[in-house]
Chains A and B, each alone.
Chain A
């Protein structure tokens, strides 16, 4: 199981990224790269000459990769959701510290913005876990899944508002527009590549792989909203992913203030309403 997660995680994650790039290109009126392009990119980056600003950067990249991997593995093993989110924080924190370690204006600003992104999504992710606990009586992924299979009631039916909030959380976590504030796939001149600016070659490749693990974990969060039927869960994940891509291409980047306000205001209120409603169902 662990080996499967470690091997299959980035393969599926990479493929999904390839699909993302293809669809994005089509939406922008381009032909787009082949689906396998993310893998070609990573292999090419791995073979490139190593350019670094300082050696500490390397440690941060490795920390990011392994803790992203660990959080996905813990999820697949059905562990405690809050513990998984805390483990995820280690990776995110390492990425920020890595960007802060270089005295470059772009990575410095990118890291400050990345911290704000973490501040925006972290509480909502934990509240999602709490909402799941409120329904199932456990924080453990395995128990949450079992509960839905036993009672044949998917969480989506009882936690629809929390699910809507999760859409925003994923946009922020995956740095998709309108929340591509700290770094973006699209060309944003004023921050260049934000937190990623000062990473190159093999190290950038490792960051890319770590990102695939995180993508898989994020989609895992979506999937367990319909754990009573895995086919529907898979469909849900695909629909959600497409929705994120469309949002990404149809919205313009917003300011961090708007992000914090919408996450802490809109997000928390919706979750609270949903959780309070649970007491009346």
Chain B
């Protein structure tokens, strides 16, 4: 049973990916992708029923992984070298990092740790299972969304020969690699899957083969390979210090912390690069040149989530150290900096990208606070962020295909043109920052957990206030509407586009209703296992409230108020049928003219137009203003992290 599940979750996407590569027929490929997606979703739910497990594979598998790792790294080096003319610095650095990795892996596998058996090869606790569910459900929905999207996308590009087979190879394979990554116990295996995700992201970001796409892909691979080198070095030091390669062994703190801290800091560093934390944010921002399904996948269920998964997974091993404090500060810094950067952007995808990095920073800050309460907050954020952010990216993709722009200023009055997409987008945005939705519960949990570390708490408070700015105004703009009566018609979008949107929107809401069950079933056991000493945690979760030792969040009155608001609104809107609809106030004469927007009456009875837009406050929140300084601050913080780790603090 278990081996079948693992086979489906990890190996099936690989096989299906190559089938996609071989299939030249669009419909056949669509069928394969949909089938695999459905199988993955069902299997992940079965795995949830199966519960925690450990599973060991024989030694020959380890050898196979070793050789595949060499092949993979060599292929990465080749790909980077092949594209060197686009950006020589990124390309050559990636080649150097890849070759360095090969040398290190060779030395490690054949000299240091030759023939070492790690038991078990795979293991799953609730965290792994949550990750598998996110990857398999959210990731699969994105793959399904990709089918009609890519057809449209290539139609716009006027391609002679379709490149979709290659696209779906990496898209589907990504899910298998991620499942392997979150289920691996043997760190060498984890590292192998880690490098596969690096390769997949490179291929997908550069998919369109334009110059900018290739440059950004090279940027991504060079930064991620740097993380990979750090990871490999971490594994080597870990083995020489503690003679273990088993994740379970490390996080159950069977070793003296002083032996673990340096390798852990290197692995955290790898996590920071993969999670695109400042100063590595540029690769994820560059990644948005890729087709929207890629952005959605990278930002929600794969890639960046691998980075935070590693940091959160290892958190119990570095609890109560200075390393942990530095991790919290780094996460908090990224949260504030990238939230502020998001305020200055009018490009919708860029706002989403900065918000992703910010939320990952918040998750990492939770890992650094490293108490059971913070751990719970981190997992809340991982779950709810994956669903809402995937939804938002797919929405922006749909909007872009609908109105031909991803600029927020062009989305005024979207509710009149694309009512369904607009409403679903607004649901996505509200679930990102308002109660009673899970992201806010996560943020609240994080803040109350951070009360032990005031500096991080301050960063969280500032970041959280800034996020409100860009979500409120974007959501407001989507729902702005003409005062002329409009007949709204639900827009005509493909079934395979609509289904993932509706399912994700439903998930974003339903998950909030079952948040207590999610906590009791999946999160609470984790905190009990990994934090045996620390006391502060939720004392009660259920009966509509979350209670911890310093505060409580009673959710049922909010749900009740939401219901009251909905009922009253239906009543009031119904009663407003006969009320007079007027044009906006234009300072004197009510400008009731034929245009769909109001104008001023000016000299000689002429009409004068006006324009309005959001405040983007570029002199305060612009990229030019903030990026350099914040990169320097973060680099210093990372150096301090390494110093405290080197000193074994």
A residues with CB within 8 A of B: 49-56, 58-59, 62-63, 66-67, 69-70, 73-74, 79-83, 86-87, 89-90, 93, 96-97, 99-109, 111-112, 115-116, 118-119, 122-123, 126-127, 130, 133-134, 137-140, 192, 197-198, 257, 260, 264, 268, 272, 275
Contact = CB atoms under 8 A, between A and B. Distances in A.
A172 B468 CA distance: 17
Nearest to B473: A115
Interface in B546-590: 550-554, 557-558, 561, 564-565, 568-569, 572-573, 576, 578-587
Nearest to B447: A82
A106 B587 CA distance: 9
B434 A90 contact: yes
B148 interface: no
Contacts of B551: 80-83, 133, 138-140
Contacts of A275: 454
B468 A89 contact: yes
Contacts of B454: 130, 134, 275
B635 interface: no
Nearest to B611: A105
Contacts of B554: 74, 79-80, 83
A70 B413 CA distance: 30
A111 B475 CA distance: 12
Contact of A137 (B433, B550, B553, B597): B550
Contact of A139 (B462, B477, B550): B550
Given A93-B434, A101-B480, A130-B451, A192 B581 contact: no
A47 to B, nearest CB: 14
A67 B430 CA distance: 15
B451 A101 contact: no
B469 A118 contact: yes
B434 A102 contact: no
Given A103-B412, A103-B480, A111-B473, 19 more contacts: A52-B579, A52-B582, A62-B569, A74-B554, A80-B551, A82-B444, A96-B476, A99-B476, A101-B479, A103-B482, A103-B584, A104-B598, A107-B584, A115-B472, A115-B473, A130-B457, A192-B585, A260-B620, A264-B462
A197 B554 CA distance: 35
Interface in B576-618: 576, 578-587, 597-598, 610, 612, 614-615
B581 A112 contact: no
A118 B468 CA distance: 8
B461 interface: yes
Most buried by B among A51, A66, A74, A118: A66
A58 B568 CA distance: 10
Contact of A80 (B415, B552, B584, B586): B552
B565 A66 contact: yes
A106 B591 CA distance: 14
B435 interface: yes
A278 to B, nearest CB: 10
A26 to B, nearest CB: 31
A97 B612 contact: no
A69 B565 CA distance: 12
Nearest to B434: A90
A86 B446 CA distance: 14
B451 A127 contact: no
Interface string B451-475: 1001001100110111011001101
Contacts, number: 193
Given A101-B481, A115-B473, A130-B457, A74 B585 contact: no
A270 B5 CA distance: 57
A52 B577 CA distance: 10
A217 to B, nearest CB: 15
Given A51-B579, A80-B552, A127-B458, A112 B587 contact: no
Interface in B432-448: 433-435, 440, 444, 447-448
Contact of B476 (A97, A130, A134, A257): A97
A100 B434 contact: no
B576 A108 contact: no
B540 interface: no
Interface of B: 412-413, 415, 433-435, 440, 444, 447-448, 451, 454, 457-458, 461-462, 464-466, 468-469, 472-473, 475-477, 479-483, 550-554, 557-558, 561, 564-565, 568-569, 572-573, 576, 578-587, 597-598, 610, 612, 614-615, 620
A98 to B, nearest CB: 8
A266 B565 CA distance: 38
B146 to A, nearest CB: 32
A33 B434 CA distance: 39
B572 A62 contact: yes
19 contacts: A52-B581, A53-B581, A56-B481, A58-B572, A59-B573, A62-B572, A63-B569, A66-B565, A66-B568, A70-B558, A86-B444, A89-B433, A93-B434, A97-B479, A101-B476, A101-B479, A103-B413, A197-B585, A260-B620
A97 B580 contact: no
Given A80-B553, A93-B468, A106 B585 contact: yes
Nearest to A113: B615
Contacts of A97: 472, 475-476, 479
A143 to B, nearest CB: 9
Given A93-B468, A126-B461, A137-B550, A103 B564 contact: no
Contact of A59 (B444, B569, B583): B569
Most buried by B among A103, A123, A257: A103
A104 B584 contact: yes
Q: For the complex, would chain A's binding face be called helix, strand, loop or mixed by DSSP majority?
A: helix
B479 A73 contact: no
A268 to B, nearest CB: 8
A66 B561 CA distance: 7
B451 A100 contact: no
B117 to A, nearest CB: 49
Contacts of A123: 461-462, 464-465
Contacts of B573: 55, 58-59
Contact of B597 (A86, A103, A130): A103
Contact of A104 (B475, B476, B586): B586
B580 A50 contact: yes
Given A106-B585, A119-B465, A127-B458, A87 B480 contact: no
A272 B454 CA distance: 10
A73 B560 CA distance: 13
A272 B461 CA distance: 13
A80 B553 CA distance: 6
A83 B612 contact: no
A53 B582 contact: yes
Contacts of A63: 565, 569
B481 A138 contact: no
B469 A115 contact: yes
A100 B476 contact: yes
B552 A62 contact: no
Contacts of B473: 96, 100, 111-112, 115
Nearest to B471: A93
A128 to B, nearest CB: 10
Contacts of B464: 122-123, 126
Contacts of A96: 472-473, 476
A119 B340 CA distance: 11
Contacts of A86: 434-435, 440, 444
A87 B435 contact: yes
Nearest to B552: A80
A103 B582 CA distance: 12
A167 B577 CA distance: 43
A62 B568 contact: yes
A55 B415 CA distance: 13
Contacts of B584: 53, 102-104, 106-107, 197-198
B435 A90 contact: yes
A166 B179 CA distance: 49
B580 A49 contact: yes
A184 B561 CA distance: 29
A69 B413 CA distance: 30
Nearest to B480: A101
